[in-house]
């Protein structure tokens, strides 16, 4: 498959490595100083463009790729106030766009398992629920975005819980998230349902950051030749 890269930072470079190892060809690389590349024959020849840039530039990049007739897979965060415009273009103008705020396939499987378990546990009030997330010491935010997504999915399904809290539990209806920062841990999320007689836990433990890049390349393979607005649920068919 012919892939164009839009954004050649940490993710762009990781994606290039994985794409080449899976037998794909990188036909065009566009970064901040090579933005005129969108009109090149090489860019237009791509089966799909993978976009990882910045919140302020992503939407404009999508428009330029669409103009060139190239489908886009993007993982850039922080631009979602314009997502309805992109959805409309996919629906009305036959554009192709795949978006995921977390491309790790394992994390997306974990999201689905978490929702399923939460639906079951809604019927078993003897179990209290809590979460722990562990990340490297450089991470500035807490809890992690992934922990918040997991917590929101629990709150949507476990009626006895009505908010998540960070490192405290003030009321029985709280879902406490304990955030640990240590070493170079890429990311661990564990959810525990605890009763007087036992506990059930599910855990996702990332071995490296490569999972995001691999997920983006697999998404590009899935997207080539398709039309419309696509996401991880379409690809993983939950
Ligand atoms: N969805 C996911 O799974 C996932 C995973 C990791 C990172 N991200 C997101 O992906 C984005 C990029 O992450 P990163 O770690 O590669 O960042 P980075 O800062 O390492 O790279 C961004 C690159 O975009 C380039 N760029 C800036 N403006 C541009 C423009 N107008 N046209 C083309 N290129 C331009 C920069 O020069 C830089 O090379 C961020 O929004 C980050 O939050 C998402």
Q: Which of 64, 95, 135, 178 is catalytic?
A: 135
d(CA 175, CA 85): 35
| pLDDT at 189 (0 to 100) | 95
Structure tokens at 146: 């992934």
Atom 2, ligand 1: which residue's CA is nearest? 102
d(CA 77, CA 75): 6
pLDDT band at 20 (very low <50, low <70, confident <90, very high): very high
- Omega within 30 of 0 (cis) for the link into 143: yes
Atom 10, ligand 1: which residue's CA is nearest? 76
Q: Which pLDDT tens digit goes with each residue over 159-218?
A: 999 999 999 889 999 999 999 999 999 899 999 999 999 999 999 999 987 898 999 999
| pLDDT at 19 (0 to 100) | 98
Nearest to 95 by CA among 209, 226, 202, 237: 226
Structure tokens at 17: 């490595």
Q: Which pLDDT tens digit goes with each residue over 133-176?
A: 999 898 777 898 789 889 999 999 999 999 999 998 899 999 99
Q: Is 29 left (phi over 0), alpha (psi -120 to 50) or beta?
A: beta
Can you say how many angstroms the Cα of residue 106 is from the centroid of all Cα atoms in its chain?
10
Name every residue whose Cβ is closer than 8 Å to that of residue 155 and which is 6 or more positions away in sequence.
161, 162, 163, 164, 175
Atom 24, ligand 1: which residue's CA is nearest? 53
- The pLDDT of residue 32 is above 80: yes
Q: Which pLDDT tens digit goes with each residue over 69-90?
A: 999 999 988 888 899 999 999 9
φ, ψ for residue 113 (rounded to 5)?
-65, -40
Q: How far is the CA of 160 from the centre of ligand 1 (A)?
A: 39
Residues with CB under 6 A from ligand 1: 6-12, 30-32, 35, 52-54, 57, 61, 75-78, 100-103, 212
Domains, in order of start, for the chain: 2-103+210-236 (3.40.50.720), 105-205 (3.30.360.10)
| pLDDT at 209 (0 to 100) | 78
| pLDDT at 72 (0 to 100) | 98
User: Which residue's entry shows tokens 């892939």?
Assistant: 3
């Amino acid at each position: 498959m012919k892939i164009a890269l839009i954004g050649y930072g940490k993710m762009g470079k990781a994606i290039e490595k994985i794409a080449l190892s899976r037998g794909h060809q990188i036909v065009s690389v566009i970064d901040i100083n090579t933005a005129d590349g969108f009109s090149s024959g090489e860019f237009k020849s791509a089966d799909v463009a993978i976009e990882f840039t910045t919140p302020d530039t992503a939407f404009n990049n999508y428009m330029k790729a669409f103009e060139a007739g190239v489908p886009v897979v993007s993982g850039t965060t922080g631009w979602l106030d314009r997502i309805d415009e992109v959805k409309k273009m996919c629906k009305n103008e036959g554009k192709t766009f795949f978006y995921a705020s977390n491309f790790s396939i394992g994390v997306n499987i974990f999201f689905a398992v978490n929702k399923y378990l939460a639906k079951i546990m809604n019927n078993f009030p003897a179990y209290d629920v809590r979460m722990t997330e562990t990340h490297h010491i450089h991470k500035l935010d807490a809890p992690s975005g992934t922990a918040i997504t997991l917590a929101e999915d629990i709150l949507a399904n476990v009626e006895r819980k009505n908010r998540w809290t960070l490192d405290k539990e003030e009321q029985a209806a709280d879902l406490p998230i304990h955030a640990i920062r240590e070493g170079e841990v890429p990311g661990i999320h564990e959810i525990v349902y605890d009763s007087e007689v036992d506990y059930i836990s599910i855990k996702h433990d990332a071995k490296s950051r490569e999972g995001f890049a691999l997920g983006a390349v697999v998404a590009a393979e899935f997207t080539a030749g398709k039309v419309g607005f696509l996401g991880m649920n379409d690809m993983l068919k939950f």
